[in-house]
């Protein structure tokens, strides 16, 4: 039987978590973990239909969840979300920046719009949300920020020039956020997924040769799945991870170690 002292380390009852990209893929898995640990989860994404489906699924499981439509590539949309939450007097204790896009085209064909949209969604959005919510977390003496980065923050993959640059920026944002607020009880860390089968990787996953090759490069012999992010989410978003901050946490089956 799990000792109550250790169970309490992961208990998020009474906490509110905002999860961007929370309606699918890694973001949804992270939202499920937070909801299962007792947090009220605010699911934030562009597609209202997908949000509603996820909210219904989480509610059916007995967890607390609600939908907050937002486009993280749009400053006005983010500002509206922040204002709604402030007006509702719903403080955000846990911020998960999981939303992201990947323009899979050769570097030389990247357009200005491709670049700007990728940076807006993958870097500026997380920055704006962090700036909006971290000071209040610090004032309360407790907060958790988890950014979803990528292997491509530290190594180059084909046809992902803008995406790789944006994820390298997220690593830098994570460190600067941790430096600013860790002493006030607000930790900030970044997850470094390997190749995970999600809607974001659907195009690449249609190539069985590539999927097999990526799995062969791991130590575990398999590619990642969204459920692999349940445990690490709870660690970084709870009291259990109070001494972990400014870190890049690899969730990749050993891919980065080969």
> Which CATH number does the domain housing residue 122 bear?
3.40.50.720
Q: Is residue 200 part of a domain?
A: no
* Nearest Cα to Cα of residue 95 among 125, 60, 130: 130
Dist. CA 218–CA 254, nearest whole Å: 5
Dist. CA 257–CA 237, nearest whole Å: 25
- pLDDT of 111 over the 80 cut: yes
Q: Is residue 257 part of a domain?
A: no
Residue 42, C-beta contacts closer than 8 angstroms, at least 6 positions apart: 16, 17, 18, 19, 22, 65, 66, 67, 68, 85, 90, 92
Q: Is residue 55 part of a domain?
A: yes
Number of domains in the chain: 1
- pLDDT of 213 over the 90 cut: no
Residues identified as active-site: 163
Q: Is residue 183 part of a domain?
A: yes
Domain that holds residue 174: 4-194+230-242
Q: Is residue 214 part of a domain?
A: no
CB burial string 172-190: b at 16+ within 10 A, e below: ebbbebbeebbeebbbbbb
**How confident is residue 202, by pLDDT bands cut at 50, 70 and 90?**
low
pLDDT tens readout for residues 125-142 = 999 999 999 999 999 999
Q: Is residue 254 part of a domain?
A: no
Q: Is residue 110 part of a domain?
A: yes
Q: Is residue 256 part of a domain?
A: no
């Amino acid at each position: 039987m799990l000792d109550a002292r250790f169970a309490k380390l992961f208990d998020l009852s009474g906490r509110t978590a905002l999860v961007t990209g929370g309606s699918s893929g890694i973001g949804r898995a992270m939202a499920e973990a937070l909801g299962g640990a007792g947090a009220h989860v605010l699911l934030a994404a562009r597609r209202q239909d997908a949000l509603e489906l996820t909210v219904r699924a989480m509610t059916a499981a007995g967890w607390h969840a609600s939908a907050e439509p937002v486009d993280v590539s749009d400053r006005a949309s983010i500002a509206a979300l922040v204002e709604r939450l402030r007006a509702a007097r719903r403080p955000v204790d846990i911020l998960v920046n999981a939303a992201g896009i990947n323009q899979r085209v050769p570097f030389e064909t990247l357009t200005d719009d491709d670049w700007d949209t990728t940076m807006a969604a993958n870097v500026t959005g997380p920055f704006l949300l962090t700036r909006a919510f971290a000071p209040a977390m610090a004032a309360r003496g407790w907060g958790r920020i988890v950014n979803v980065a990528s292997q491509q923050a530290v190594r180059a993959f084909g046809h992902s020039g803008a995406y790789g640059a944006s994820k390298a920026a997220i690593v830098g944002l994570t460190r600067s956020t941790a430096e600013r607020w860790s002493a006030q009880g607000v930790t900030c860390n970044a997850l470094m997924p390997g190749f995970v089968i999600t809607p974001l990787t659907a195009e690449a996953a249609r190539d069985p040769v590539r999927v097999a090759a990526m799995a062969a490069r791991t130590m575990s012999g398999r590619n990642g799945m969204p459920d692999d992010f349940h445990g690490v989410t709870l660690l970084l978003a709870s009291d259990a991870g109070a001494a972990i901050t400014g870190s890049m946490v690899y969730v990749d089956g050993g891919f980065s170690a080969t």
